[in-house]
Structure 1
Amino acid sequence: MKFKHADPLSGKREQADFDTYLKQSFTRRIMLVAVLVLAGVIGLFSRMFFLQVRKYDYYRTRAQSNRVRIKPLIPERGTIYDCNGIALTENILRYQVVVNPTQTGNLTELLKAFSDLLPLTEEEIADFIKRYKAARRYESVVLKDSISEDEHYRLAVKLYQLPGVAIEPYYERYYPHGVLTAHVVGYTNRINEKDLQSISPDDYRGIQFIGRTGIERQYEDKLRGKPGYQQVETDANGNLVRLLNEFPAERGQDIYLALDLNLQRFIYDILDDYRGSSVVINPQNGEVLAMVSKPGFDTNLFTRGISQRQYQNLLDDPHGPLYDRALKGRYPPGSVIKPMMYLAGLYYNVVDSSTRVHCGGAYRIPESKSNRVFHCWNRRGHGSLNGDEAVTQSCDIYFYSLGYHLGIDKMAEYCRHFSIGVPTGVDLPNEDSGIMPTREWKEKRYKTNWYIGDTINASIGQGFLTTTPLQLAYMTALIARNGKRFTPHLLKRVYDPTQMTFLSVSNHDNGYLSIYNEADWRLAQRIMEHVIHHKTGTAKGIAKGLRYRMAGKSGTVQVISFKTDKRVPGHQLAKEHQDNAMFIAYAPAEAPKIAVSMVVERGGGGSSTAAPLVRKITDFYLLGQTEKDNDQLV
């Protein structure tokens, strides 16, 4: 049997093929690994390029946020001046303790440690915690303001023990003239949670106070200024390392008012113990020269942070010092409205200059089934009077008749031209419109019909009809100015410290009233002169020694009701039951420079109390006479 032997050459070939396969396989694996490594390196470098080049600014900013802080720079608030450049506000540099929430550890421990150095009341702590929780990130929160020099020193040497606590300067608003300008200038106080919902964070960055009332609120945008800021580098503990950049704050604009502080003080002083209000307007341009509401209050209490007890005392004060009588006081105008009512009668041809009405002391509504009688203040009657005589002697019966024929609709339409029942538009917040009653108004307010008796009452400025002292001064100025319209205003000019120049303010002239009739208005002006200068005028008593012609009208308004057949003399009434005394006037009559309204609460007669006060005001303004110079008038 033959055996087949293996070919040795064939085995060598197989071995060579296997070796080749191994080499190729290894090479492929090496190449695969190399490709993977290369891909990883490329991916890594791509990511590094993306992070370090493409996203450089983003991550640089994020990195810096760990060590760069934005520190607000608070602008100094603009100053308010009177027309003579007398400062009505001041900014006093104070120091306050602030807490940075991002650097504070345990708040309870911090407050305890702080209280060991400077005692805090429970009210202060509660208020701080409330503001602390509402604070924006990186925004410091005031813990205690207006610290003394001694408190400043005691705290400064211990600050290292109080992380996140710092002492910072700030400006505190101060009102040097106290009660004199309380209502018109207003006050600032701390921004609260409600404010934060409406103000712009950028506009108020770091600012802690906001105008709350009066001019401070009306011109908040001009007065507050523009915040600046510093970019500062800090260490891990929040300590300042260096200043990186600074954008200075811009001081607020200065406001110059038409208000004359000397006149304001004079009026406040002559009111003495009376409660009341007086408004003075320049009829030529509508500038408000004085706006007095007495009593006033110390506005500095609110800026510093009034306590609950202090605030409650002001609220409980029976004299109402917080009540802005000039802007919001609703008073029945009484007879001071008669010149305007007479103009309405002339305009609608209800009466003319020769129309006469007999006054027998009582008036009954024609064709009325009611037995109600409307009396004249002169129960004996004035006899037959025309319009001139009726206004001069303030006859009620004439105006009952005029009102009856005029009707409430025309009466209301005409009165609105004088801003009776509508705001004057003065540059102060929350002006009251008073009440010009109408059928619709009564239906809405009292759910009842309008009666002719309501019209009769309105015709002599009583009943539902109410006006503010500002509206009465505006009405007087319009008559003095021959119906040329204007918007009463306090703003005279604005100074911008950044531009170092005075800025222009808008023109407040608005043309003539559509109801103006020269002949009628000249007649009304002449009649108002007769009130003072004619022997039968109700205010003839103030004409003694008068060195210029003056036009005016008195009013006496009941504050309690009497039966129609009874009337108690004012001197027999208790003080709280006496009439309100009213007077309006302008002077000089031929070229008016000043229009005045005066309301004296519980003052008695308009001619006996309010008129002499107005005479003192016009003498002071036109002649420079002081109270002592014409003291014989009262």
Structure 2
Amino acid sequence: MPPRLDTLKNARQELRIFRFRALLALVVVVALTALLTGRLVYLQVVEHDRYSTRSESNRVRVEPLPPTRGLIYDRHGVLLAENRPTYNLTLVRERVEDLGRTLERLVSLLELPEDDVEAFKRRSRQRQRPFQPALLMSDLSQAQIARLAVNRHRLPGVEVEARLLRYYPEARIMSHALGYVGRINADELENLDAGRYAGTHFIGKTGIERFYEKALHGQAGLRKVETNARGRVLSELGRQDPVPGRNLTLTLDTGLQQLAFDLLEDRRGSIVAIEPDSGEILAMASTPGFDSNRFVTGIDVEAYQALQQDIDLPLFNRAIRGHYPSGSTIKPFVAVAGLREGVITPEKTINDPGYFQLPNDSRRYRNWLRWGHGKVDMERSLAVSNNTYYYSLAHDLGIDRLERQLGAFGMGQRVAHDVQGESPGLLPSREWKRERYNQSWYPGETLSVGIGQGYLQITPLQLATATATLANKGEWVKPRLARKIGDEPLPRDLPDTPEDIELDDPDGWNTVFNGMQKVLSGREGTARRAGKGLEYAMAGKSGTAQVFSLDKDERYDADELAERLRDHALFIAFAPADDPQIAVAVIVENAGGGSSHASPLAREMTDAWLLDEGHLPDDDSASEDRASSGEEG
């Protein structure tokens, strides 16, 4: 057997190993303790502000407080735009763990129609600032609110908030003038002041709502609230109240606006009425209208397409964007142009054989009365609406001077102070035709402009503004829709007001006025039927504008034409003639003659303002002046 080796225990070696292991453990413990202590120091001291803020944010939340939008009233205090309480559904994407699943739950709970689902999901994806709520749905029903409340624990980041929603009591008749508010889209969000619009979901889109957006909106506030882990508000820690928007008082008269709509009877057209002395727009109707309340919360696709495809174009604001030939309503302004340029005098007469010919041109430019009016001066030319007189006058003026003088009345330019979306119309010139058609200007085209045809295109607002300026004997007062912003009245003299129109002989104004009065009161007046029984002196001018051109020697027969190819009916008026309180422009599309179809509407408007509203001046001396001059009324 091999020899047995006895192993002796080495105590010193074991002690050395133990001490090494103990020291190593101590070093590791000390290192870990130092690391932990260093980390704690770093978090508690170095990063104190950062983590304190993050911790506070988990407990304390800052919520925006949107301002209350200002109300809109008419000149008599009738409420035109108010704020009604409603409930909105909002979502904060940063607090939603699974956006797709949350949206599916919401679609199911809200029982949304299939057509609305895509729009609903698109709003949830719309770009928002971090932790800003996105508006998913407005004006929730009580049933929808109840279902959302029961399932609130399953919908983190989703809130039902009480808000005020814009509502228009007179939506149909005021839709074009007031405009409407709508949801803020992504493009608008990029350009908005983040602080001013915090928590705001709606913004003015068109009309007065858009032009005075800054005044109507106000300034957003905020509140600091304490929340629990589920995000429920426990208490309010601080608040900065929002500044509400300022109320707006308009110049519009709801009764007169309603009358304008009733007179048009859903025909296509426009009526604009202005107070000449102040420039206040009393009525600005465009028919047919539409219900602007449908656009506030978002109109559905089918309804919007129906409005767009409607042949009568209810969304089109004819009062400020409709382009029409002025027809013979241009003649008073051409007469003033001739007086200003010194190419004619009130007493000068022409002999009208029923047509006008340019020198060395065989073509005959016909008067509407084919056998002519015989001897015609300025007063009679207006009363009988003689074309030959104005062919001759336009030829003597030439297009350059004619364009300059008509431009002085606001034609071919935006005339109003606060009418959003206004079109400048078209006042043709040599330069315009060269640029547009690369053609020279022909003398015959000047004749067409002289009777309100050809390239000339005006809007009803421009025509009413020119009539108001004429009623003021050339004094310009810029039209406006706002009367007061808050408690501050809009000044009478506004920036960029055109220069006044002056005549070397002020009696020239009276000649034009007398001719326009004879339109309604004279034996030969084209609108004498509308002038019967007038209780005041009224000055007016009828116009009939061709929709398409007739061939040489071709006669116009409305019965043989499709309705939309018939002439437009126009009429301008101001009254009382010696102290104008109202100026009116009426355009009825495809109605026929202005004397028969538009003048009665203008008469109804002036009667309502002067007689029903009590604006007829009580001036005995003015009545005596009218009687001595032989004027009716």
TM interval, shorter chain, is 0.7 to 0.9
8 A contact 2:88–2:138 mirrored in 1: yes
8 A contact 2:378–2:511 mirrored in 1: no
Q: Aligned with 2:160: secondary structure?
A: strand
Q: 2 CA distance for matches of 1:115 and 1:618? A: 55
- Alpha-carbon spacing, 1:194–1:606, altered in 2? closer, same or farther (3 Å): same
Q: 1 CA distance for matches of 2:55 and 2:380? A: 87
- Alpha-carbon spacing, 1:110–1:415, altered in 2? closer, same or farther (3 Å): same
Greater CA drift, 123-132 or 241-250: 123-132
Residue 541 of structure 2 corresponds to residue 548 of structure 1: no
Q: Using the TM superposition, give the Cα deviation of residue 66 of structure 1 relative to its aligned residue in structure 2, in angstroms.
A: 3.2
Q: 2 CA distance for matches of 1:504 and 1:537? A: 41
2:513 paired residue number: 525
1:67 paired residue number: 59
1:7 paired residue number: none
Matches within 5 A, 1:619-634: 619-624=607-612
Q: 2 CA distance for matches of 1:507 and 1:60? A: 57
8 A contact 1:285–1:508 mirrored in 2: no
Once the two structures are superposed, residues 242-294 of structure 1 have per-residue CA deviations (whole angstroms, 9 ceiling, x without a partner) of: 22111122221110001000000011101114211010000111000000001
Residue 149 of structure 2 corresponds to residue 156 of structure 1: yes
Residue from 559, 564, 567 that aligns with 2:547:
559
Q: 2 CA distance for matches of 1:138 and 1:543? A: 66
- Alpha-carbon spacing, 1:76–1:534, altered in 2? closer, same or farther (3 Å): same
Q: Using the TM superposition, give the Cα deviation of residue 422 of structure 1 relative to its aligned residue in structure 2, in angstroms.
A: 0.7
Q: 2 CA distance for matches of 1:226 and 1:122? A: 37
Greater CA drift, 152-161 or 459-468: 152-161
Residue 90 of structure 2 corresponds to residue 98 of structure 1: yes
1:422 paired residue number: 413
Q: Aligned with 2:574: secondary structure?
A: strand
Q: 2 CA distance for matches of 1:614 and 1:514? A: 25
8 A contact 1:458–1:465 mirrored in 2: yes
Q: 2 CA distance for matches of 1:571 and 1:426? A: 42
Greater CA drift, 431-440 or 91-100: 91-100
Residue from 103, 127, 132 that aligns with 2:119:
127
Unaligned stretches of 5+ in structure 1?
1-36, 496-501, 627-634
Once the two structures are superposed, residues 610-633 of structure 1 have per-residue CA deviations (whole angstroms, 9 ceiling, x without a partner) of: 00111111111111199xxxxxxx
8 A contact 1:551–1:589 mirrored in 2: yes
- Alpha-carbon spacing, 1:49–1:136, altered in 2? closer, same or farther (3 Å): closer
Q: Using the TM superposition, give the Cα deviation of residue 334 of structure 1 relative to its aligned residue in structure 2, in angstroms.
A: 0.7
2:356 paired residue number: 363
2:26 paired residue number: none
- Alpha-carbon spacing, 1:459–1:511, altered in 2? closer, same or farther (3 Å): closer
Once the two structures are superposed, residues 177-231 of structure 1 have per-residue CA deviations (whole angstroms, 9 ceiling, x without a partner) of: 1210010011111011111122111111111011111111111111112111111
Q: 2 CA distance for matches of 1:235 and 1:547? A: 75
8 A contact 2:272–2:585 mirrored in 1: yes
Q: Using the TM superposition, give the Cα deviation of residue 151 of structure 1 relative to its aligned residue in structure 2, in angstroms.
A: 1.6
Residue 214 of structure 2 corresponds to residue 182 of structure 1: no
Residue 158 of structure 2 corresponds to residue 170 of structure 1: no
1:11 paired residue number: none
Residue from 578, 599, 604 that aligns with 2:566:
578
Q: Using the TM superposition, give the Cα deviation of residue 511 of structure 1 relative to its aligned residue in structure 2, in angstroms.
A: 8.3
Q: 2 CA distance for matches of 1:449 and 1:68? A: 74
Q: Which amino acid aligns with 1:541?
A: R
Q: Using the TM superposition, give the Cα deviation of residue 62 of structure 1 relative to its aligned residue in structure 2, in angstroms.
A: 3.9
Q: Which amino acid aligns with 1:547?
A: E
Q: 2 CA distance for matches of 1:80 and 1:563? A: 51
- Alpha-carbon spacing, 1:521–1:230, altered in 2? closer, same or farther (3 Å): same
1:9 paired residue number: none
- Alpha-carbon spacing, 1:516–1:486, altered in 2? closer, same or farther (3 Å): farther
Q: Which amino acid aligns with 2:311?
A: P
- Alpha-carbon spacing, 1:108–1:220, altered in 2? closer, same or farther (3 Å): same
Residue 66 of structure 2 corresponds to residue 81 of structure 1: no
Q: Which amino acid aligns with 1:215?
A: I
TM-score norm. by structure 2 comes to 0.87
Q: Which amino acid aligns with 1:403?
A: A
Matches within 5 A, 1:213-612: 213-368=206-361, 371-495=362-486, 502-508=487-493, 513-517=500-504, 518-612=506-600
Q: 1 CA distance for matches of 2:378 and 2:491? A: 39
Residue from 110, 116, 121 that aligns with 1:118:
110
8 A contact 2:483–2:489 mirrored in 1: no
Q: Report the identity percentage.
A: 39
Q: Using the TM superposition, give the Cα deviation of residue 434 of structure 1 relative to its aligned residue in structure 2, in angstroms.
A: 0.6
Q: Using the TM superposition, give the Cα deviation of residue 323 of structure 1 relative to its aligned residue in structure 2, in angstroms.
A: 0.8
2:6 paired residue number: none
Q: Which amino acid aligns with 2:420?
A: P
Q: 2 CA distance for matches of 1:494 and 1:348? A: 41
**CA RMSD across the alignment:** 2.3
Q: 2 CA distance for matches of 1:252 and 1:107? A: 35
Q: Using the TM superposition, give the Cα deviation of residue 546 of structure 1 relative to its aligned residue in structure 2, in angstroms.
A: 0.6
Q: 2 CA distance for matches of 1:198 and 1:511? A: 32
8 A contact 1:484–1:511 mirrored in 2: no
Q: Which amino acid aligns with 1:399?
A: Y
* Rg larger for: 1
Q: Aligned with 2:295: secondary structure?
A: helix
Q: Which amino acid aligns with 1:503?
A: E
8 A contact 1:374–1:564 mirrored in 2: no
Q: Aligned with 1:194: secondary structure?
A: helix
Q: Which amino acid aligns with 1:388?
A: E
Once the two structures are superposed, residues 455-477 of structure 1 have per-residue CA deviations (whole angstroms, 9 ceiling, x without a partner) of: 11001010000111111111111
1:26 paired residue number: none
Count of aligned residue pairs for this structure pair = 577
Q: 1 CA distance for matches of 2:162 and 2:341? A: 65
Once the two structures are superposed, residues 12-33 of structure 1 have per-residue CA deviations (whole angstroms, 9 ceiling, x without a partner) of: xxxxxxxxxxxxxxxxxxxxxx
Q: 2 CA distance for matches of 1:155 and 1:553? A: 63
- Alpha-carbon spacing, 1:593–1:206, altered in 2? closer, same or farther (3 Å): same
- Alpha-carbon spacing, 1:596–1:504, altered in 2? closer, same or farther (3 Å): closer
Q: Using the TM superposition, give the Cα deviation of residue 122 of structure 1 relative to its aligned residue in structure 2, in angstroms.
A: 4.8
- Alpha-carbon spacing, 1:427–1:277, altered in 2? closer, same or farther (3 Å): same
Once the two structures are superposed, residues 421-462 of structure 1 have per-residue CA deviations (whole angstroms, 9 ceiling, x without a partner) of: 011033111110110000111111122221111111001010
- Alpha-carbon spacing, 1:113–1:58, altered in 2? closer, same or farther (3 Å): closer
